[in-house]
Amino acid sequence: MIFTFAEAESFSTYSVQCVQEALEEFGCKIRKIECKAEETRLFRFLQDTQSSQMGKLGVFQSEQKKRQFLNRLQSELVKRGIVDVLRNGIKVYPVDLIMFYLTPTENNEKAREMFQKNIFSVTRQLCYSQDAGKLALDLCLFINGFRGCRTR
């Protein structure tokens, strides 16, 4: 089954809301979870879909370039939010990177091929606090290495 981005976003929002309500019912305090990129899936997606752009950035040649790229990505996530970054990509001089390929039209084979390279994954028991290791989500959805866990 293939979901459109809007359907996936709606499902994600609904799922987070249900988890929040259930936790609040049991008196659990909900902490803010920042959106971060899961490096392995993120870099696999970028290498599979935009290897020439990644080569220009030199991300795979040095740890320093990799850290610079991840810092830039994190600043864009904080400034614009995960949905905007996924929809519009990011600019990292000298390239523009696509972070998610939208649902293709019926006759566009190239768009369909690129859409199929998106990496959708689910992680069970995701710890989200370095201070308290027992704080974890039962389930987290990822799109191209981005986890969109939002709590209030």
Between CA 97 and CA 122 the distance in angstroms is: 24
Q: What is the pLDDT of residues 74-124, one digit of tens each?
A: 999 889 988 899 999 999 999 999 999 998 998 999 999 999 999 988 777
pTM over 0.85: no
Tokens of 17: 């809301």
Confidence of residue 30 (pLDDT cuts 50, 70, 90): very low
Between CA 150 and CA 34 the distance in angstroms is: 7
Q: What is the pLDDT of residues 101-115, one digit of tens each?
A: 998 998 999 999 999
